[in-house]
């Protein structure tokens, strides 16, 4: 079975990472990121979650507002940096057409207490940022562009991450480019840049033990994501998979070794992102005429580098049976991702029946792999299984 891999990591990448870590890897990596995305300031930390928290703290220095809007179906852990910053999460339902935050419902969610909108490019599909930014500006709110799983996607001719007051990209496991852990924050705002820089400077440095653990895990990941090795090791690896809901997160500085690896991988980004785009486009074309599933509507001005390819199956029961069939017959690791909407995961004081689209979507969504290790024949098998199961 093929894993949901991030980026192919070669021995040369490790050697380049070691060499880079002896110089000034953070500055070198950030300079390349600034050039790629087209932003003035770049910061690195141990996770995108930590950087969202720091961005919200920076926004709070300039505003007394207390609420942050996020999609009702997204990574539930996004609630944590909001609450840790002393702010209140407010949900907006998603669209069953785009599979993303429903921009038509967003105006009704905005109030004079809305500090920020968390605009999430889920699955690597770009959210319409022009509309988001227009509404935010009219309301006096900030925008955090969450491109955690969308690194390499493009919108309006530019890379995602080019639009938010602060934009974040994840380098965690399973992302479009991974250094095992890590996150990137980008901004053009000089005041916000100073506030974030001060906060990052105050973060603790990872202990020697943790730095060694990260380096060893990163090297192991570079081996295990090979399909034939993963197939042999899968029974053991499943024992270490975390299925529990996060209740907290750590914040510390990004390591020199990871920055060196990131710099090496970023130089290979075009090939990596192109494979994700090609795989996603193939699935869109091959599955587009099946009536019992729905595919996401993607704007003409968006080019998704899919982290995973989402389909919405006719019923929850059919979704669960199809998932088993794909895993057993196509031998790829399809997934349901987040099994519940955000307000079902944390006690936010919100009735469970609210946000019906998010509730419905959680029960019927199925994600197909698009990572660079999956070959065309394997994707053809996935399509064959789906067509046979859903005639």
The DSSP annotation for 195-262 comes to HHHHHHHTSPPPPHHHHHHHHHHHHHHHHHTSHHHHHHHHHHHGGG---SPP------PPPHHHHHHH
Cα 233 to the chain's mean position, in Å?
A: 26
- Rounded to an integer, the average pLDDT of 58-82 is 97
pLDDT at 160: 98
Contact residues for 352 (Cβ-Cβ < 8 A; gap 6+): 343, 344, 359
CATH class of segment(s) 269-389: alpha beta
% pLDDT > 90, the chain: 74
Q: Would you tell me how many other CB atoms lie within 10 Å of the CB of residue 72?
A: 25
pLDDT in tens, 89-126: 999 999 999 999 999 999 999 999 999 999 999 999 99
Q: How many angstroms separate the CA atoms of 199 and 60, rounded?
A: 13
Q: Hey, what are 90's tokens?
A: 């407010």
pLDDT at 379: 95
Domain spans, the chain: 11-201, 269-389
Whether residue 17 is predicted with pLDDT greater than 70 in this model: the reply is: no
- Rounded to an integer, the average pLDDT of 331-354 is 94
Structure confidence at residue 6 as a pLDDT band (50, 70, 90): very low
Whether residue 2 is predicted with pLDDT greater than 70 in this model: the reply is: no
Contact residues for 231 (Cβ-Cβ < 8 A; gap 6+): 1, 331
* pTM attached to this predicted model: 0.90
- Rounded to an integer, the average pLDDT of 181-187 is 97
Q: What is the CATH number of domain 11-201?
A: 3.40.640.10
Structure confidence at residue 235 as a pLDDT band (50, 70, 90): low
pLDDT at 96: 98
SS3 label, residue 117: strand
pLDDT at 391: 77
DSSP H or E stretch at residue 282 = helix 269-287
- Rounded to an integer, the average pLDDT of 155-160 is 98
Query: 164: alpha, beta or left, given left = phi > 0 and alpha = psi -120 to 50?
Result: beta
Distances (CA, A) of 45 to 159, 185, 264, 283: 21, 8, 18, 34
- Rounded to an integer, the average pLDDT of 129-158 is 98
Backbone angles phi, psi at 353, to 5 degrees: -75, -15
Whether residue 383 is predicted with pLDDT greater than 90 in this model: the reply is: yes
What's the CA angle centered on 39, arms 38 and 45, to 5 degrees?
120
Q: In this structure, are residues 85 and 79 in contact, taking their beta carbons and an 8 Å threshold?
A: no
Q: Would you tell me how many other CB atoms lie within 10 Å of the CB of residue 90?
A: 22
Least confident of 68-82, 196-210, 343-357: 196-210
Q: How many angstroms separate the CA atoms of 61 and 53, rounded?
A: 13
pLDDT in tens, 252-274: 999 998 998 899 889 889 999 99
Distances (CA, A) of 325 to 19, 314, 390: 45, 16, 11
Q: Hey, what are 269's tokens?
A: 């980004």
Q: Hey, what are 122's tokens?
A: 């889920």
381 versus 225: the higher-pLDDT residue is 381
pLDDT at 222: 59
pLDDT in tens, 281-304: 999 999 999 999 999 999 889 999
pLDDT in tens, 200-220: 999 999 888 888 887 777 776
Structure confidence at residue 306 as a pLDDT band (50, 70, 90): very high
Burial of 30 (0-12, 13-18, 19+ CB in 10 A): buried
């Amino acid at each position: 079975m093929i894993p949901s891999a991030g980026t192919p990591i070669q021995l040369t990448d490790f050697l380049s990472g070691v060499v880079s870590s002896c110089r000034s890897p953070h500055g070198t990596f950030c300079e390349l990121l600034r050039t790629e995305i087209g932003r003035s300031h770049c910061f690195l930390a141990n996770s995108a979650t930590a950087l969202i928290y720091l961005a919200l703290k920076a926004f709070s220095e300039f505003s007394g507002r207390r609420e942050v809007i996020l999609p009702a179906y997204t990574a539930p852990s996004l609630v944590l940096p909001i609450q840790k910053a002393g702010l209140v999460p407010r949900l907006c339902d998603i669209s069953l057409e785009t599979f993303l935050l429903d921009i038509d419902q967003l105006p009704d969610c905005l109030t004079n207490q809305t500090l920020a909108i968390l605009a999430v490019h889920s699955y690597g599909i770009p959210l319409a940022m022009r509309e988001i930014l227009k509404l935010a500006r009219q309301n006096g709110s900030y925008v955090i562009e969450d491109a955690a799983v969308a690194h390499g996607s493009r919108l309006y001719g530019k890379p995602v991450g080019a639009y938010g007051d602060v934009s974040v990209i994840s380098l965690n496991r399973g992302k479009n480019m991974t250094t095992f852990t890590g996150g990137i924050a980008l901004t053009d705002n000089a005041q916000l840049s100073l506030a974030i820089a001060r906060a990052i400077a105050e973060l603790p440095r990872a202990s020697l033990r943790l730095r060694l653990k990260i380096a060893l895990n990163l090297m192991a990941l570079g081996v295990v994501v090979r399909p034939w090795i993963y197939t042999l090791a899968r029974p053991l690896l499943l024992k270490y998979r975390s299925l529990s809901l996060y209740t907290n997160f750590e914040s510390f500085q990004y390591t020199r070794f990871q920055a060196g690896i990131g710099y090496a991988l970023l130089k290979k980004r075009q090939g990596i992102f192109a494979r994700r785009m090609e795989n996603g486009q193939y699935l869109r074309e091959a599955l587009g005429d099946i009536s019992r599933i729905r595919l996401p509507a993607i704007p003409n001005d968006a080019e998704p580098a899919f982290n995973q390819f989402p389909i919405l199956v006719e019923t929850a029961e059919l979704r669960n049976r199809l998932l088993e069939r794909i895993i057993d017959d196509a031998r790829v690791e399809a997934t349901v991702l987040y099994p519940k909407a955000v307000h079902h995961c944390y006690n936010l004081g919100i009735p469970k029946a609210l946000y019906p689209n998010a509730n419905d979507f959680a029960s019927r969504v199925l994600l197909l792999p698009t990572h660079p290790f999956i070959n065309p024949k394997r994707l053809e098998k996935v399509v064959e299984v789906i067509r046979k199961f859903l005639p």
